[in-house]
Structure 1
Amino acid sequence: MRNTVNILGIPVDNVSMGEALDIVKGFLNEDMVHTVYTPNSEIMMAAQRDPELKEILCEADLLVPDGAGVVLASKINGCPLKERVAGFDLTNLLFVDKSAENIKFFFLGGKPGVAEEAYKNLLERKININVSGIRDGYFSKDEEEEIIRQINNSNADVLLVALGAPKQEKWIHANKKRLKVKICIGVGGTFDVLSGKAKRAPVFFQKHGLEWLYRLYKEPWRFVRMLDLPRFILCVIVNKINPKRA
């Protein structure tokens, strides 16, 4: 039975990184499509304005707290999550797991050439993963049928979708019944980081929940979007004081 923490009406799984990895690996043994999403504060706040996104997150088979703000929100609610489970780290742990050689991945998303470069860099790091298909994220609605056919013909077990939130979550939700994979994971900018096109925050910022600050420093144009972080925390506090107002 799942152990979840309710944050503004969204059930976030209360798992450690190791437990999340075990759950994902367990999905590989089940003959159905599983969805894994990794929301941060921005996505959680966006879900409060977008009922469709909120419903999609609520229906996930595994929903882990990617941002430190989500963990903070759980503490404010009095039901602290075990730890932050960053989607980037979870995906990379799956790559290097002993069973990874038997898992077939499909990379969907990113700019043309980025996913290919990410795969190349993984191989250069001696990470022996099996990528059975790659497709960039620049496609029209008319091309979706062919893309789904390509994914299914690849016999992939895990589909990594890097279309950015909330587009990737909505794409997975809309198409999961047509897919033959066992796991769909929304991975955001993972391919960009693996390809070297983007850099992750230094370890100090990661450990202290300050990746948002580093990102703001590197990309100041994200300032307006990042206002959702304090809005999210304020919304959680208001809900804690008066649930009927949230």
Structure 2
Amino acid sequence: MPFKTVNILGFNFLKTTKDDFLEQLQPDLLHQKKRFIITANPEIIMYARKHPNYSKIVKSADYLVADGIGIVKASQFTNTKLTERITGFDLFNDLLKWANTHQSKVYLLGSKDSVIKAVVQKIHSEFPQINIVGYHDGYFKNEAPIVEEIKKTKPNFVFVATGFPKQEEFISAHQSVASAIWMGIGGSFDVYAGNVKRAPLFWQKHNIEWLYRLITDPKRIKRQIVLPIFLLESFLKRKQ
């Protein structure tokens, strides 16, 4: 069945749970369909609203899901509420499980050289049936060799962890070279490799990971100040 969507500040988010989303992805996965997934938080949406070209990219994604409790909260100002947040990190882990079960080919792009190598090693250890057909750190000046490698190896999944907007711009420009699931996953490689600790389960369950990150890294205040602005704009949009 097709996904229902909830429009928040002009962007159509899927109204679904993580488990239902993965289940409905099955035909795409099994038939090797090319799909572009974006897991967006308020910071991404606010950036997109100020940058028309990036906004077009976000709206062009096959699936836009709410990675951020702020998106879910903003949906309360619409006629249809989102069910839950779907984090890029959780989705990344679940897709790795699927890839392992189906002996899929995976390409990894992003983060520092030491981090991406640690990610590759951990995937080999935890998911031995995954075929990592290539990987590259995120500090590249010439993307042509990377694109050519993806084209040549024909992966089933391409995970890009270079942060927004770079990761979505890369995917938008090059997704035609492989019939894969393409997804930008921000800082997930650092978390997966153990370089950055995710918030404890209590903070996750209560949807306050953002607060944990702010407490442990006060410098994030400059980025997280966008959350109340996003919520206010979402509320005012409802009044129009």
Match of 1:190 among 167, 188, 191: 188
Q: How does 1:127-146 map to 2 (within 5 A)?
A: 128-140=129-141, 143-146=142-145
- Number of the residue aligned with 2:228: 230
Q: Unaligned stretches of 5+ in structure 1?
A: none
Structure 2: stretches of 5+ with no match in the other structure: none
Q: Is the 8 A contact 2:99 2:105 kept in 1?
A: no
Report the counterpart of residue 159 of structure 2 in structure 1.
160
1:80 to 1:204, Cα distance in 2 relative to 1, 3 A = same
For residue 143 of structure 2, give the secondary structure of its aligned residue in structure 1. helix
In the aligned structure 1, how far is the partner of 2:93 from the partner of 2:26? Answer: 13
Percent identity over paired residues: 37
> In the alignment, which residue of structure 2 is the partner of 1:108?
109
Q: Give 1:99 deviation, angstroms.
A: 5.8
Give secondary structure in 1 for the equivalent of 2:25: helix
Matches of residues 115-126 of structure 1 in structure 2 within 5 Å? 115-125=116-126
Deviations 1:20-79 (A, max 9, x none): 212334223445521000001111111111122221111111111010110111112231
Q: Matched residues in 2 for 1:122 and 1:146: separation?
A: 23
Alignment of 1:1-246 (within 5 A): 1-30=2-31, 32-97=33-98, 100-125=101-126, 128-140=129-141, 143-177=142-176, 179-242=177-240
**2: distance between equivalents of 1:221 and 1:58?**
30
Length-normalised TM-score, structure 1: 0.91
Deviation of 1:120 (Å): 1.5
Q: Which amino acid aligns with 2:227?
A: L
Deviations 1:104-147 (CA, angstroms, capped at 9, x unpaired): 1100011112122012223334564321111111111xx21111
**Alpha-carbon separation, structure 1, partners of 2:238 and 2:4:** 20
Please identify, of 28-37 and 166-175, the stretch whose mean Cα deviation from structure 2 is larger: 28-37
The C-alpha deviation readout for 1:161-188, integer Å capped at 9, x for no partner, is: 00101111111112223x2242110111
Aligned length: 239
Contact 2:99 2:130 in 1 (8 A): no
Read off the aligned partner of 2:169 and give its amino acid letter.
Answer: K
What is the one-letter code of the residue matched to 2:151?
N
In structure 1, what is the Cα distance between the partners aligned to 2:64 and 2:212? 25
Contact persistence 2:41–2:68 (CA under 8 A):
yes
Contact 2:100 2:128 in 1 (8 A): no
Find runs of 4+ consecutive structure 1 residues off by over 4 angstroms. Answer: none
Maintained 8 Å contact 1:56/1:169 = yes
Shift of 1:148: 0.5
- AA paired with 1:173? S
Given the two structures, how large is their TM-score scaled by the length of structure 2?
A: 0.93
Cα distance, 1:215 vs structure 2: 1.1
Task: Say whether the 8 Å CA contact 1:159–1:181 is kept in structure 2.
Answer: no
Query: Offset of 1:2 from its aligned partner?
Result: 2.9
Q: Aligned partners of 1:99 and 1:31: how far apart in 2?
A: 15
> 1:71 & 1:231 partners in 2: Cα distance?
15
Q: Cα–Cα, structure 1 residues 173 and 126, in superposed 2: closer, same or farther, change >3 Å?
A: closer
Give the Cα–Cα distance (whole angstroms) in 2 for the partners of residues 104 and 146 of structure 1: 18
Q: Which amino acid aligns with 1:218?
A: T
Judge conservation of contact 2:100–2:127 (CA < 8 Å) in 1: no
